[in-house]
Every structure is written in structure tokens, then in C-alpha cells.
Structure 1
Amino acid sequence: MIIDKLSNGAQYAPLHRNFGLAFDWLQAQDLEALEIGIHQLSDGVKMIVSENPGVEATVQKFECHNQNIDIQLLIRGNETMGWKPRQDCTQPIGKFDDERDVIFFTDRPDMYFSLLPGQFAIFYPDDVHAPMIGDGLIKKLVVKVAI
């Protein structure tokens, strides 16, 4: 997992062949003006813009993916996220859903952290994460980068 500010995004370009494309696109946008929905940037990179009420920590989704890396960028609001290494999660809810690229867990996060607007977290397949914890509306953008 990585946590940083969007203004530092370019330094992560060497970590994946599509990170440079994603961070260049993000820095060129008026993030507040982005329409809610799914935007295909290129083959293997899509953006999901959402605006939803935050949830309580007791009802969060605790999830991870096999086929994508998530770059989760907060646009507006205050968001808290939970995190735990996948290797330490022992309580899956069902089996991995290949079509949706997700598995959920009932384990508790090892830690929580908060993002402010303009900050992002990168979650790799080994990072189980609980997004959207908070009060009020949270507008965010999730970049799905195919591995």
C-alpha cells in the first residue's frame, strides 16, 4: 500500500507500465467537474468516479482484488480506510468472484488511516482494504489498473 498526494503521483510511474498514464491524466483534470460513472482511459485502465454517503466502520466492505491495482483518490469529503495484509486475513466471505475481481473478508483491519482531498492510496492485490468510511458525502475516483 502507498499513501501520498496527487501532486507526487508522477514519482510512482516506474512501478507499473500504466501508472504514468493514469497520474498524468489525473493531474490534467478538473476533478470536481468529473461526471459520476465509469470512464475508460485506455486498455487496462479505467476510472470510476462516485459520490456516495460514507459508512460506519462496522458496515464497511473489506475487499481485495486479483486482476487490478486500485488507485483510490479522494476528491471531496473526508474518507477513512481500513487496511490489513491479505496473508493475515482468514475469514473470507465466499469464494473469489472472478467476474467482479473481488473477494470480501469479515476480518477486522489492522489499521485505519484518513485521506484528505487530493490524497490517494494505492492498493495492490495483497492489500485488503475497507473504503468509504466517513460521515457525509464522499466523492472519489478509483483507477483500476490491470495487472
Structure 2
Amino acid sequence: MIIDTLANADKYTSVHPLFAQAFEYIKNTDLAAIEVGKYEIADGLKAIVSSKVGMTAQESEAKFECHNNNIDIQVCISGNETFGWKTRNECKSQKGDYNPEKDVLFYNDEPSMHFTLNDNQFVVFFPEDVHAPMIGEDEIKKMVIKVRK
């Protein structure tokens, strides 16, 4: 997992072959004005923009998730978004089977930590990062870039 501000995004372009293009897309997009929806960026890169009121930790942690084939770059555009997190190696209670169509696997485990992103901060979740997003009381606008592993 990586947590940082968009001002430092260039430091991470070498982590994955598609990260430079993903962060370039974020930098060249008017995040305040972008509409809610799905955007195809390039082969192996897509963006999902959402804006909704956050949920309780209990609601979010009921869908404590990770991905096998995608890396998430989650950008907080506005609001305060809290996440639960735990490494997949420490999760013991898988909830159901892996869904290859949606590239998602859920766990019944509880996060080992929580952290909060504010405007223009981002987190990168790799396949080993189990996460519970969208925890908050107010409106959260965010962009998730799905990066094919």
C-alpha cells in the first residue's frame, strides 16, 4: 500500500508500467468538474468516478475486499474518506468465493488499521491489500483507477 498526495505522484511512476499513464491522466483531468461515471483510459487502465455519502465502518467492513488482477489507485477528490486495511496474509476468514468477473474477493476479518484521505490525497492498493473504503459521514467524491496487474 502507498499513501501520499497527488503532488508527489511522480515518485511512483516506476512502480508499475501503467502508473505513469494513470497519474498523467489524473494530473490532466479537472477532478472538481469530472462527472460521475466510468472512463476508459487505455488498455489495462480505467477510471471510475463516484460521489456519494460515506457509510459507517461496519457497513464498509461487511465488504472487506481485495483484487487478484487489478491494482487500485484511489484518489480523494473532495471530502474525508476513511479506509480500513489489513494485509491479505493476515486475513483468515474468506467470505464466499473469488468472483473473477468483478475481480473481487471478500473477507470476514476486521481491519488492523484505519486511515483517512483528504482532498488531493491517494492510496494505492495492491492485490495483497484488503480494504474497506468509503467510510465517512459526509459526501465523498473519489476516482478509482483500475490498473491491470
TM class by shorter-chain length? over 0.9
TM-score by length of 2: 0.97
Q: Distance in 1 between matches of 2:129 and 2:84?
A: 10
The one-letter amino acid of 1:12's match is Y
8 Å CA contact retained: 1:77, 1:138: yes
In the alignment, is residue 67 of structure 1 matched against residue 69 of structure 2?
A: yes
- Paired position in structure 1 for 2:92: 90
Q: Distance in 1 between matches of 2:78 and 2:9?
A: 18
The one-letter amino acid of 1:67's match is N
Q: Distance in 2 between matches of 1:39 and 1:10?
A: 22
**Partner secondary structure for residue 47 of structure 1:** strand
Q: Distance in 2 between matches of 1:137 and 1:105?
A: 26
- Paired position in structure 2 for 1:22: 22
| RMSD of Structure 2 on Structure 1 (CA) | 0.6
- Following superposition, the deviation at residue 73 of structure 1 comes to 0.3
The unaligned stretches of length 5 or more in structure 1 are none
Among the aligned pairs, what percent are the same residue? Answer: 50
- Paired position in structure 1 for 2:108: 106
The one-letter amino acid of 2:28's match is A
Q: Distance in 2 between matches of 1:25 and 1:46?
A: 10
Q: How many residues align?
A: 147
Q: Distance in 2 between matches of 1:29 and 1:45?
A: 15
The unaligned stretches of length 5 or more in structure 2 are none
- Paired position in structure 2 for 1:40: 40
Q: Distance in 2 between matches of 1:92 and 1:40?
A: 31
The CA deviation string for residues 108-137 of structure 1, in whole angstroms up to 9 with x for no partner, is: 000000000100000000000010000111
